[in-house]
Amino acid sequence: MKIIGYILAIIGAIGVLLKTEMVKKLIGITLPAITQTTYFMIGSVVVVIIGLALILMGPGGSMGNSRSGGEVPIYAGNQIVGYRRV
């Protein structure tokens, strides 16, 4: 799932970059007229957001991980005898 997220984020970022004047001059080719519309820019930004959401929601992402990653004490009576990772 993360790989799909990365691919979508890269494709969306390329779409956003195609809208800028500097990139158009740098690549030196004529791009289709659809890449110059506002809808193309909005669509590219939406694709980037979807890609980032897939990256973060996948296994190991920050949104799907509810554990704190710390340690909790192990008690024997009133004394701490060790720590256990969560």
Provide the number of structural domains found in the chain: 1
> What's the pLDDT at 63?
54
**Strands, E, within 1-86: which ranges?**
71-76, 79-85
In the beta sheet, which residues pair with residue 85? 71
The model scores a pTM over 0.75: no
41 exposed, middle or buried (CB, 10 Å; 0-12, 13-18, 19+)? middle
Helical pair 2-18 and 38-57, crossing angle rounded to 10 deg: 160
How far apart are alpha carbons 8 and 4 in whole angstroms?
6
The tens-digit pLDDT sequence of the chain (86 residues) is: 789 999 999 999 988 888 888 877 888 777 778 777 889 899 999 999 999 999 998 666 555 455 556 889 999 999 999 999 88
Residue 29 pLDDT: 75
Residues spanned by the domain of 73: 2-85
